[in-house]
Amino acid sequence: MTRGRPAAALLLVCAVALAGCSIASRPSTSVPQPRTLSGTLDKAAYAIEVPARWNGALFLYSHGYVAPGQANGAVDAPGPDVASWLLGRGYAVAGSSYSSTGWAVEDALKDQVALLDFFAAHVGKPKRTIAWGHSLGGMITAGLVQLYPDRFAGAIPMCGVLAGSVATWNQALDGAYAFKTLLAPGSNLQLVHISQPAANLQLAGQLAASAGSTPAGQARLALAAAVGDLPGWFDPAAPEPAPDDYPARAAAQALWNTRVDFAYAFAGRAEVEQRAGGNPSWNLGVDYRRLLQQSIDRDEVVGLYRVAGLDLDRDLAALNAGATIRPDAAAVAYLRRNFVFDGRLAVPVLTMHTAGDGLVVPEQEDAYAAAVKASGSMSLLRQLFVHRAGHCAFTEAETISAAQELVQRLDHGSWDEAALDPAALNRRAAALGDRYAVAFTGAAASPAFYRWPAAPFLRPFDANAQPPAA
């Protein structure tokens, strides 16, 4: 992706590609030049860069979702300047394109391990390998260290799908189900077993445009957004709307839905169902009244319903009465394998997420932490948060700072808790200079690490959970 695009337009690109807004890295023109290797391994393109004075460590990058039909090149780092920074300090970088597009978790896990084997055979066995990646690549990163802990020293999943595949697609179903039930119950909008994804997405957009023209429609759109915990903040270049500015927050949620999330809920699901061999999601037994009580958007929904003169209790009762969608057992099993987290960590993991992420909501971090805590592995996990809107909207300085902190943990054997404090992280990021104070939009941005006011993921599903009978 190129720099300098307007924030909203770039978010659209991220929605299509879910690639974590990654930029294909290229080495700097410094001398001596890094050694580069590229080619194809079992239909998966790869890119490798090794500095002339390699320190023996490798950063293995996993890119995010690429929509079927889109270009699918190998990406070996989050951006060219980040790659140059790493190469200049002796680190090698590598990444695979994966052998398929879409929800390519199964292929990505295999392809990234194959690339590690290739690297060992043609460059040398790394003394230390760090997995990292954005978005769907964040899930792949966490999956790699769960499946192959002996191959990695640590991991940095960024804006990762860390609630796992089953939970993520369940929560997407909740928002889509609430949208149809409250705003278009008699429409032909398909929630599961989607047969015509393009037409389905177009219909969802038309229904949303119509609903957004009235206070009642706006309130019900807000309720549909709330059961997915969508943030009321869309533009990375704009300040977050005030907590009680309900119209502004609802407008931001509408943008997340119509410009980003609907593409997955009403179209992208079809590709997942094809991979999984059926519908992997359900809402049978879900209490939407309880979800709203736990949602970060509860007060907004209550306020907008009051202004619209609607009966919130009646709408919640309608949602609960119609919650009868069951999954296909084989499809759930496929997503469990690709991928659900057991929380058992064997290496240090440092995650990072933007607070105003409406595609992979930051509450996914709570689901991951809960699984890790239940396994007794919390000493190996630390989580960073950046107060900015956007999916994976980190600056290069924030990304490098996260890498520095994980390397410090590996070098010294313990987390530097003082250095992980948001204020200290912001100082470290600022010290990198203006060159790295650039967000994915191409605009300058100050470091914005902060303490996230933790909130629960509304549809958790870890390795010990069980779906309802199909």
Topology (CATH) of 7-162+340-450: Rossmann fold (3.40.50)
Give mean pLDDT, residues 246-255. 98
Q: CA torsion angle for 470, 230, 104, 441 (degrees, to 10)?
A: 170
Q: Taking all residues of the chain, what is their mean pLDDT, rounded to a whole number?
A: 93
**Which pLDDT does position 295 carry in this prediction?**
98
Residues 274 and 367: their CA atoms lie apart, in Å, by 26
Q: Tens of pLDDT along 312-360?
A: 999 999 999 999 999 999 999 999 999 999 999 999 999 999 999 999 9
Q: Tens of pLDDT along 407-431?
A: 999 999 999 999 999 999 999 999 9
pLDDT at 2 over 80: no
**Which pLDDT does position 5 carry in this prediction?**
30
* Cα angle 281-285-291, degrees, rounded to a multiple of 5: 85
**Which pLDDT does position 69 carry in this prediction?**
93
pLDDT at 250 over 80: yes
Comparing CA positions, the residue from 451, 364, 429 lying closest to residue 159 is: 364
440 pLDDT tier (thresholds 50, 70, 90): low
Are 47 and 94 in contact, with CB atoms under 8 Å apart? yes
Question: In b/e form, how buried is each residue of 201-238, taking b as 16+ CB within 10 angstroms?
Answer: bebbbebbeebbeeebbbbbbbbbbbbbbbbbbbbbee
CA 200 to chain centroid, in Å, comes to: 24
Q: Tens of pLDDT along 264-293?
A: 999 999 999 999 999 999 999 999 999 999
Q: Tens of pLDDT along 50-75?
A: 999 999 999 999 999 999 999 999 99
Q: Tens of pLDDT along 206-222?
A: 999 999 999 999 999 99
26 pLDDT tier (thresholds 50, 70, 90): very low
Instruction: List the domain boundaries for the chain.
Output: 7-162+340-450, 165-335
- Counting runs of H as helices and runs of E as strands, what totals does the chain give? 17, 9
pLDDT at 1 over 80: no
Residues 415 and 121: their CA atoms lie apart, in Å, by 33
**Which pLDDT does position 155 carry in this prediction?**
99
Give mean pLDDT, residues 153-161. 98
Residues 136 and 417: their CA atoms lie apart, in Å, by 28
Residues 324 and 468: their CA atoms lie apart, in Å, by 11
pLDDT at 405 over 70: yes
Residues 391 and 261: their CA atoms lie apart, in Å, by 11
Give mean pLDDT, residues 181-191. 98
Neighbouring residues of 319: CB distance < 8 A, sequence distance ≥ 6:
177, 178, 181, 182, 288, 289
Give the largest CA-CA distance in the chain: 69
Residues 236 and 244: their CA atoms lie apart, in Å, by 19
**Which pLDDT does position 32 carry in this prediction?**
79
Give mean pLDDT, residues 143-167. 98
Q: What are phi and psi of 122, to 5 degrees?
A: -110, -15
**Which pLDDT does position 468 carry in this prediction?**
87
Comparing CA positions, the residue from 405, 383, 395 lying closest to residue 441 is: 395
CA 253 to chain centroid, in Å, comes to: 17
Residue that is written with structure tokens 């980040």 in the block: 82
pLDDT above 70 coverage of the chain, percent: 93
**Which pLDDT does position 36 carry in this prediction?**
97
Give mean pLDDT, residues 112-131. 98
31 pLDDT tier (thresholds 50, 70, 90): low
Comparing CA positions, the residue from 191, 75, 145 lying closest to residue 347 is: 145
pLDDT at 16 over 50: no
